[in-house]
Amino acid sequence: MSNPTSPQKFPYVMDMAPGTYYWCACGGSKSQPFCDGSHKGTAFAPVKTEIAQAKKVAWCGCKHSKNGAFCDGSHARP
């Protein structure tokens, strides 16, 4: 599998309403951190994420998190 593009080296911290979201795993979306279909024709697929209640979320911006769609600090590691 090829490596994703890293659109930024820090998380997208956002206040999120309850709902279903599709996090961009390829890094090519123009609607970061969410999928806009840019992955079509690649080995990547968006990550479906359910937010049960309103909360602040740190979505991964570097696309290398081991915690799925959520930031785990991977952007700060060499």
Structure tokens at 28: 């090519």
pTM: 0.93
Q: Please state, in angstroms and rounded to a whole number, the distance separating the CA atoms of residues 22 and 47.
A: 5
Query: How many helices (H) does the chain have, and how many strands (E)?
Result: 0, 4
Give the pLDDT of the chain (78 residues) as one tens digit per residue.
589 999 999 999 999 999 999 999 999 999 999 999 999 999 999 999 999 999 999 999 999 999 999 999 999 987
Backbone angles phi, psi at 59, to 5 degrees: -75, 140
Closest CA to 27 of 57, 60, 51: 60
**What per-residue confidence (pLDDT) applies to 51?**
98
Q: What is the pLDDT of residue 2?
A: 84
In the chain, what are the domain boundaries?
12-76
CA-closest candidate to residue 59, choices 18, 12, 6, 5? 12
